[in-house]
């Protein structure tokens, strides 16, 4: 038997970002006994360095784009875009966490190691060309996130969030795995790009393909918190530590959307007319349920959770368009959404105080008077979440509905736009409380912004403006890489 056990150097380079992050995660745990007491912030600094190195690794991998490890991985523009996106989210999450972990007197090394490993999983998922790799990446990402959700072990809401997320998440993964097993049974392969040809040549019954597609859609629908699989999101986002909620609402979601698009635009592309109505319904349900439920929330984290369900709905509109432009629009929107959502969570972490006691909307009262800069930055994020021009959120929505109209999804676009109008109400309500109300106890005794939180506010704000003023840069990259596998 000819044995060549050594991967080629190109293979290794295409896998570089994951190797860097895994090595850094392991290093963090080795350093734990020496520095955990003396320099708790060291682990965060190291994580940021690792993420930056990994971004360069991802760019390096992109310079030798192509399949790796006997076609299990595929490094293309699409993968690179999402790899860099989840790493940027990783950096911002670390910035969010400095003050939070400090305030809760929590261990830092395992937290940051888990964060690094979670990003390894997401980075692996988005570059996978194989259902097995997708499954392993998804599990790495999910299990790390389950643990992070329950990281503050003595907090009851943390425990509830982690348990709920774990049980429902495992159940959803089970669905995904059933779908994968059926696909493997039908075709004898798990390679995404070989599936459509084999399904067609064997003349498989559409019903069985439909069952497999539905199983995979249910599994991924849970991960992106799209209706009707969104029930877990509000409880989990509310219960988990706030920086983890910010992370959960962005990175795993972006990665899950990436593989949803990759699977459905490559493997299940021929049966698109079959699955499109389901995406259509899920998009409409997510937008409507998310926005209307958010209207009545008084808890900031819960409101942001419902808003994240609504945003998953907008993104599903882009998937339903099932065109290359739709893919590019979804990529752009995910980047814009990640920035504005993390920014909004940064303010929530800032005002919530030890033990996250201040999470009501009224707790923002008078923030505009007491801390005008924080209030101004939150205003940018809220305007972007609404989709006001000059912000990234505006162009994100613009491209999505443009793509939908191009694919003749007129009704979905109209209903989506109506939904955005509803959403404006609950975002604007925060602005009113912040600027029009007299300062309350919370804002009067608010600590000044720490450097970490400040950076986690300013960087996304710059990013949001950049996407809103010069959307062309990112959109061109997204459009060039929206043809998967190139």
Partner 1 sequence: MDLFFFSLFAFIALICAVNVVLQKHPISSALSLVGVMASLAVLYLLLGAEFVAMSQVIVYAGAVMVLFVFVIMLLNAGIEVHHGRSWMAKLLGFPAFLAILGLLCFFVQRGFPNVGSVRFGDWEGGGAQQVGYALFTEYLLPFEVTSVLILIAIIGAIVLARKELD
Point out which residues bind partner 1 (CB under 8 A). 1, 3-5, 7, 15, 18, 22, 25-26, 29, 68-70, 72-73, 107, 110, 113-114, 117, 120-121, 124, 130, 132-133, 136-137, 139-140, 143-144, 146-147, 150-151, 153-154
Q: Closest approach of Cβ 131 to partner 1, in Å?
A: 11
Contact 112, 45 (CB under 8 A): no
Q: Which is nearer to partner 1, 7 or 355 (CB)?
A: 7
Q: Which is nearer to partner 1, 392 or 485 (CB)?
A: 485
Could you list the beta-strand ranges (E) of 4-153. Answer: 66-68, 73-75
Both structure tokens of 174: 């089970």
Q: Closest approach of Cβ 125 to partner 1, in Å?
A: 11
Contact 219, 176 (CB under 8 A): yes
Rounded to 5°, angle at Cα 28 from 24 and 342 = 75
Q: Closest approach of Cβ 413 to partner 1, in Å?
A: 40
From CA 76, how far away is CA 62, in angstroms rounded? Answer: 7
Q: Which is nearer to partner 1, 3 or 207 (CB)?
A: 3
From CA 230, how far away is CA 323, in angstroms rounded? Answer: 25
Q: Closest approach of Cβ 308 to partner 1, in Å?
A: 24
From CA 461, how far away is CA 455, in angstroms rounded? Answer: 10
Both structure tokens of 396: 């994100």
Radius of gyration of the chain (CA): 22
Q: Which is nearer to partner 1, 139 or 276 (CB)?
A: 139
The helix, strand and coil proportions of the chain, stated in percent and rounded to the nearest 5, come to: 80, 0, 20
Q: Closest approach of Cβ 56 to partner 1, in Å?
A: 21
Q: Closest approach of Cβ 193 to partner 1, in Å?
A: 16
From CA 357, how far away is CA 349, in angstroms rounded? Answer: 10
Contact 171, 221 (CB under 8 A): no
From CA 389, how far away is CA 396, in angstroms rounded? Answer: 10
From CA 287, how far away is CA 416, in angstroms rounded? Answer: 7
Q: Which is nearer to partner 1, 191 or 302 (CB)?
A: 191
Q: Which is nearer to partner 1, 354 or 444 (CB)?
A: 354
Q: Closest approach of Cβ 117 to partner 1, in Å?
A: 5
Q: Which is nearer to partner 1, 127 or 365 (CB)?
A: 127
Q: Closest approach of Cβ 437 to partner 1, in Å?
A: 40
Question: Among the residues of 202-323, which ranges form H helices?
Answer: 206-223, 232-239, 242-248, 251-262, 272-295, 300-320
Both structure tokens of 94: 């670390």
């Amino acid at each position: 038997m000819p044995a060549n056990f050594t991967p080629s150097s190109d293979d290794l380079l295409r896998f570089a970002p994951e190797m860097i992050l895994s090595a850094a995660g392991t290093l963090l745990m080795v350093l734990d006994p020496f520095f955990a007491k003396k320099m708790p912030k060291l682990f965060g600094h190291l994580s940021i360095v690792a993420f930056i190195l990994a971004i360069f690794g991802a760019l390096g991998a992109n310079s030798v784009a192509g399949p790796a490890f006997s076609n299990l991985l595929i490094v293309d523009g699409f993968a690179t875009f999402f790899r860099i996106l989840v790493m940027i989210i990783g950096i911002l999450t670390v910035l969010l966490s400095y003050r939070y972990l400090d305030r809760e007197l929590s261990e830092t090394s395992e937290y940051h190691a888990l964060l690094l490993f979670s990003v390894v999983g997401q980075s692996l998922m988005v570059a996978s060309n194989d259902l097995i790799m997708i499954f392993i990446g998804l599990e790495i990402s999910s299990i790390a996130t389950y643990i992070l959700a329950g990281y503050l072990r003595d907090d009851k809401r943390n425990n509830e969030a982690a348990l709920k997320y774990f049980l429902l998440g495992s159940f959803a993964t089970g669905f995904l795995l059933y779908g994968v097993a059926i696909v493997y049974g039908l075709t004898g392969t798990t390679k995404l790009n070989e599936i459509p040809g084999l399904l067609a040549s064997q003349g498989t019954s559409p019903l069985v393909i439909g069952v497999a597609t539905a199983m995979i859609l249910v599994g991924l629908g849970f991960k992106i918190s799209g209706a009707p699989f969104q029930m877990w999101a509000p409880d989990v986002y509310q219960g988990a530590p706030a920086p983890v909620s910010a992370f959960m609402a962005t990175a795993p979601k972006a990665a899950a959307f990436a593989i949803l698009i990759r699977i459905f635009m490559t493997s299940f592309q021929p049966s698109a007319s079959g699955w499109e109505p389901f995406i259509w319904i899920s998009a409409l349900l997510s937008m409507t349920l998310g926005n209307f439920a958010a209207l009545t929330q008084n808890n900031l984290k819960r409101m942001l959770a419902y808003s994240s369900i609504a945003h998953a709905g907008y993104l599903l509109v882009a998937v339903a368009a099932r065109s290359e432009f739709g893919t590019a629009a979804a990529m752009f929107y995910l980047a814009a959404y990640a920035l504005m959502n993390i920014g909004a969570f940064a303010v929530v972490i800032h005002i919530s105080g030890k033990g996250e006691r201040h999470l009501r909307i009224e707790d923002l009262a008078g923030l505009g008077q007491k801390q005008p800069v924080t209030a101004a930055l939150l205003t940018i994020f809220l305007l972007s979440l609404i989709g006001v021009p000059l912000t990234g959120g505006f162009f994100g929505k613009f491209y999505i509905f443009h793509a939908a109209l191009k694919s003749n999804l007129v009704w979905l676009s109209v209903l989506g736009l109506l939904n955005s109008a509803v959403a404006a109400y609950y975002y604007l309500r925060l602005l009113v409380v912040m600027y029009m109300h007299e300062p309350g106890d919370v804002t009067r005794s608010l600590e000044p912004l720490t450097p970490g939180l400040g950076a986690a506010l300013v960087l996304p704000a710059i990013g949001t403006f950049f996407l809103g003023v010069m959307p062309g840069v990112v959109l061109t990259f997204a459009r060039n890489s929206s043809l998967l596998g190139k």
